[in-house]
Amino acid sequence: MKKILSLLLVLCGTYAFAGVKAERVEALALGSLEGTGQITNPRFSPDGKEMFFELLAADGESSEVYVASVDGGVVFPPLIGAPEAAIPSKKKDVFSLGGPGDKAISEHPAWGVSTKRGQSIALAVTRKEASRGGSKINFDILYKAPGKKRFLTEHPENDSEPTFNKSGEYLVFASGRSGEGDLYAYSFYADGNPIRRLTFEESGSELYPAWSPNGKSLAFIGHLGGVDHLFLMDDAVNLADIKDEGERRSKARAMTRDLTPGSPDSSLAPSFSPDGKLIAFFVHPKNHPTRSDLYVVDIADGEPTLLAESVIPPTRDGPCWAPDSSGLFVVDESAELMNPIYFVPLNPAKEMSLLETGTQLNGDLSLRVEGERWLLLFVAQGGGEKDLEKRWRKIFVAEITK
């Protein structure tokens, strides 16, 4: 259905339905980083005062997380300060790799809670195995807050995909330390060992952890019977509070539900609706394994429902919800229209809206509410004719109206 609508728009010469619209679209100036690599995964911080993004260098050999200050106020677009690497690559810095010529690689950042002292952040950073004096390089989870900087994990296997719950008491991450790939919780207030394993499936791995808005339930993707399923852990906080791993193991299965039972198709990247009632996720159909479709499921008792076919998943995280839980913003995998952005309403009686952004090859959508306005943040190539506009993706922001 969406593909037919896309072609009709081109034939009729119109670029937006009545409904959700992008009123203003502007690129954010990133100073010396312009044209140095491909930018992905931009996100405003919860307090709206900072923004992070990832930069894959032009040579394709390094990836770094950058953080920039944001002065939003009433101006549009928001004013962005000079981006700085979240973790310096200096051999004298105790948080870098430490060897001559070594360069830290950082990825998969996640914003934590915002306090009067400032904003916290976690990210996966490479370093040499510190605990056993080896030379193996792996990812560990680094935590930063005003006046604080420390690694939360130290293990020869990779730790990545950090995500904070609402209160900031727990950070869940994916780790290869079990030999299969499992989810672990780090408690900032734990009595004893702060790291506690949450998933115990012996025949598969668990990835894409996503907290519910109330910070208690956890959605994730688990590999089961050769297919990736969507699971929901109804009370992950209660499970993480259990000190004894044996008791945790015995209770984990009872607390976890498969939301796509019997599905032959693989799921990925769950995302809770802001009201906490639904989970949106992407699906690779078995008969079209290279295609991604958008689905939504009611966490109480619903069946997964197809919302849109052939969409492009973001680099990180899951689908981008509207703040009022009325629908989702997606990128259409359309060569004809160079991957435009749509708003897909949950109400089947309402039509989808094509956002006129003037950009091409869009991706990595995220939304922030500032007063009465919605700000859509995304990466894209500009629609101009200059080489720099066509070669490198930049960060764009759009003001969304309904």
Which is nearest to 173 in space by CA: 187, 154, 159, 157? 159
Q: What is the DSSP letter of 304?
A: P
* pLDDT of the residue at 392: 82
- If one counts every other C-beta atom within 10 angstroms of the C-beta of residue 91, the result is 13
* pLDDT of the residue at 383: 63
pLDDT (average), residues 75-100: 69
Query: Is 141 within a domain?
Result: yes
Query: Is 76 within a domain?
Result: yes
Query: Is 222 within a domain?
Result: no
How is residue 106 written in tokens?
């950082």
Query: Is 129 within a domain?
Result: yes
Query: Is 337 within a domain?
Result: no
pLDDT (average), residues 386-392: 60
Is the per-residue pLDDT at 390 higher than 70? no
Among the ranges given (75-79, 172-176, 211-215, 276-280), the one the predictor scored with the smallest mean pLDDT: 75-79
pLDDT (average), residues 230-257: 94
Cα–Cα distance between 361 and 315 in angstroms, integer?
13
Is the per-residue pLDDT at 322 higher than 90? yes
Question: Using an 8 Å Cβ cutoff, are 167 and 218 in contact?
Answer: no
Cα–Cα distance between 89 and 65 in angstroms, integer?
11
pLDDT (average), residues 197-208: 90
pLDDT (average), residues 200-225: 92
Give the pLDDT confidence of 165-199 residue by residue, as tens digits: 999 999 999 999 888 889 999 999 988 889 999 99
Inter-CA distances, 372 with 45, 300, 375, 400, 401, Å = 18, 31, 10, 10, 9
Number of structural domains (the chain) is 1
Query: Is 190 within a domain?
Result: no
Give the domain range for residue 131.
36-155
Is the per-residue pLDDT at 279 higher than 60? yes
Beta bridge mates, 370 = 373
Query: Is 280 within a domain?
Result: no
- Give the pLDDT band of residue 1 (cuts 50, 70, 90): very low
Look-up: residue for tokens 């915002």?
114
The structure's pTM equals 0.89
Query: Is 281 within a domain?
Result: no
Is the per-residue pLDDT at 101 higher than 60? no
Three-class secondary structure of residue 310 per DSSP: coil
Q: Which has more confidence, 224 or 240?
A: 240
- Give the pLDDT band of residue 4 (cuts 50, 70, 90): very low
